[in-house]
Structure 1
Amino acid sequence: MNIDIVSIAKKDHSIYDPLYKELTKMISRFAKVQDIELFPKDVAKSHTISSNASKQAYSRAFNGHKNKGFSISLHPKGKLIDSFEFSKLLNDKITIKFFIGGAYGLEEDFLKSSDAVISLGNITMSHKIAKAVLLEQIYRGFSILNNHPYHK
């Protein structure tokens, strides 16, 4: 299985990088994870215009990545699911693409074109924390699917 985590983010080193690396290594027995961070110039420019312009720029940046596989967008107003429901999203898929929008979220049309829209919770968290939570849930989901004791 291939999993892409596609996010609107500047490519910079983070204190979370060792955690991402460790979680990705843990997941590697089940799937290959690719972390794709996008921050093209039009996204930077759109931030000076409006939130709607920013959301449109995020959609344009993501469009080249949405073509193949099961697409899951992360959004605060998405469906709240538990770890067992999350594991079902991973089951029987060849390619899954998770999308994490920028500071202004995602366009309604982009969300409607996703196969699933989920929320990681009612709290607001930075994109870097959201990515760590997502990676942990991916590992937990595979552990549930494979009866591995991690999820207990």
Structure 2
Amino acid sequence: MNIDIISIAKKERSTYDPLYKELEKMISRFAKINDIELFSKEITKAHNIGVEASKAAYTKAFEAYDNKGYVVSLHPDGKLIDSFEFSKLIDGKMSIQFYIGGAYGLEDKFLQKSDKVISLGKITMSHKIAKAVLLEQIYRGFSILSNHPYHK
């Protein structure tokens, strides 16, 4: 299985990188993770214009990755699911794409094209932390599917 995590984020070294690597290593028994961070001059310009321009710039940046698998968008207004529902979300898929929007979220038209829109919770968290939570839930989901005791 291939899993793409596509996010609007500046490519920079982070204190979270060792955690990402450890989680990706744990997941590697089940799937290959591709971590794709996108940030362009157009996004920077759009941030100076406003919310709607920013969301449109995120959608445009994501276009190159559209329709390459089952699409799951992370959004604060998405469906709250538990780890067992999450495991069902990844079960039996050959390719999944998780999208994490920028500071202003995602456009409605992008969300409507998604196969599923989920929320990681009602709290606000940085994109770096959201990615760590997502990776942990991916591993937990595979653990549930394989009846591994990690999830207990």
Q: TM-score range with shorter-chain normalisation?
A: over 0.9
Query: How far does residue 17 in structure 1 lie from its aligned partner after superposition?
Result: 0.2
Query: How far does residue 80 in structure 1 lie from its aligned partner after superposition?
Result: 0.1
Aligned length: 152
Q: How does 1:114-133 map to 2 (within 5 A)?
A: 114-133=114-133
Matched letter for residue 60 of structure 1: K
Query: How far does residue 64 in structure 1 lie from its aligned partner after superposition?
Result: 1.0
1:35 equivalent in structure 2: 35
Where does the alignment leave 5 or more consecutive residues of structure 2 unmatched? none
Distance 1:22 1:126 in 2: 19
Query: How far does residue 66 in structure 1 lie from its aligned partner after superposition?
Result: 1.5
1:4-37, CA deviations, whole angstroms, 9 ceiling, x for partnerless residues? 0000000000000000000000000000000000
Where does the alignment leave 5 or more consecutive residues of structure 1 unmatched? none
Matched letter for residue 95 of structure 1: S
Q: Are positions 1:3 and 2:3 aligned together?
A: yes
Distance 1:79 1:39 in 2: 27
1:20-61, CA deviations, whole angstroms, 9 ceiling, x for partnerless residues? 000000000000000000001100110000100000000000
Query: How far does residue 68 in structure 1 lie from its aligned partner after superposition?
Result: 1.3
Runs (4+) off by over 3 Å: none
1:92-119, CA deviations, whole angstroms, 9 ceiling, x for partnerless residues? 1000000000000000000000000000
Q: Are positions 1:111 and 2:111 aligned together?
A: yes
Distance 1:75 1:150 in 2: 26
SS in 1 for 2:137: helix
TM (norm. structure 1) is: 0.99
Distance 1:42 1:24 in 2: 30
1:53 equivalent in structure 2: 53
1:26 equivalent in structure 2: 26
Q: How does 1:61-100 map to 2 (within 5 A)?
A: 61-100=61-100
Indicate the RMSD between aligned Cα atoms, in angstroms: 0.4
